[in-house]
Amino acid sequence: MTRLRAHPTRLLTRLLTRLLAGLLAVAILAAGCSDADTPGAGTPSGGSPDPAPGSSPAAPGPSTVTLPPRPPKPPKPLAGRVVVLDPGHQLGNARFPAEINRRVDAGGFTKACNTTGTSSDDGYPEATFVWEVAVELRKRLRRLGARVVLTRDDNTADAWGPCIDERGRIGNPGEPGPTADVRVSIHADGNRSSSAHGFHVIRPGRRDGWTDDVLAPSERLALALRDALVTAGFAPSTYLGEDGIDVRTDLGTLNHSDVPVVMAELGNMRDAGDAAAMEGAAGRQRYARALSTAIRAFLTG
Ligand SMILES: [Zn+2]
């Protein structure tokens, strides 16, 4: 501060010199010169205050200040991956009995196009629960870089379907749209036995010509989902499957898939404890977080 007060003229000279150098740099840049080694071009521009003139030379020399290159952003863990999420049923299915009872191919045999799904004792529909989990899960997967395809566009009482065969084919190689790396069908069960609660993950059983191509990765996917749900604090089913995993050959959505696939029955909506988790936003986020963790583990493991 003493030197600043002692030499006001020198200070003014230096500041003017720097200002001129800054203006020169701007002029050079405006003329299309981007060479940072051009004398004066790299000098901090006049907008940058420089209140410490005491020890620097009177005239600014060629700039030696070079910012280190920014490290490239690491790619997101699921960048380039495609996930098909299949929220089961549709809120309007019950209003369209002819459409959803139509028989469709379920993997070498026929079955109803779709069903109404269940609900909690409070009247919270399965179609709405699985839709809300799927939307939350989509948000999380997108943040990880994945492209997410849902098998239905909305949750509305004015619509039905799609049928199980279409749900199982969306994302298959050769189908319109991107080819999926994984398909997760999301459901909840409705069992009125008082001791029935907990989730189970259904993986496809062997149906030659249908599921034999995806059996092994689907089993790995099922284990990833089971483990993530347990880690998130959800209890495996007390009444279906074994250690939270069931194997079925009668589900059209699984049979039609040519990519690794499972159906997650996230709990029993008729059980008060399971229903409480499903009906609250925090519980649904916990489900979605667990499913996201599992899909990430499966795709990157
Ligand atoms: Zn269902």
Mind listing the pLDDT tens digit for each residue in 70-113? 999 999 999 999 999 999 999 999 999 999 999 999 999 999 99
Identify the CATH number of the domain in which residue 240 sits: 3.40.630.40
Cβ-based burial of 55 (10 A; exposed 0-12, middle 13-18, buried ≥19): exposed
Cα 83 to Cα 33, 102, 199, 260, 276: the distances in Å are 47, 28, 21, 10, 28
Instruction: Note down the domain range covering 187.
Output: 82-300
Q: Catalytic site residues?
A: 265
Q: Ligand 1 centroid to 112 CA: how many Å?
A: 13
Q: Ligand 1 centroid to 181 CA: how many Å?
A: 23
Q: Is residue 38 part of a domain?
A: no
User: pTM for the complete prediction?
Assistant: 0.78
Q: Is residue 93 part of a domain?
A: yes
The pLDDT confidence band at residue 65, using thresholds 50, 70 and 90, is confident
- The tally of domains found in the chain comes to 1
pLDDT, one tens digit per residue, over 148-207 is 999 999 999 999 999 999 999 999 999 999 999 999 999 999 999 999 999 999 999 999
Token pair of 177 as six digits: 């749209």
Q: Is residue 9 part of a domain?
A: no
Q: Is residue 216 part of a domain?
A: yes
Residue (of 219, 104, 115) closest to 169 by Cα position:
104
Q: Is residue 72 part of a domain?
A: no
Q: Ligand 1 centroid to 131 CA: how many Å?
A: 11
Q: Is residue 163 part of a domain?
A: yes
Q: Are 45 and 26 in contact (CB under 8 A)?
A: yes
What is the pLDDT averaged over residues 56-66?
62
Q: Is residue 281 part of a domain?
A: yes
pLDDT, one tens digit per residue, over 6-56 is 455 555 456 555 655 554 444 444 444 333 333 333 333 333 444 444 444
Q: Ligand 1 centroid to 120 CA: how many Å?
A: 12
Q: Over 70: is that where the pLDDT of 127 sits?
A: yes
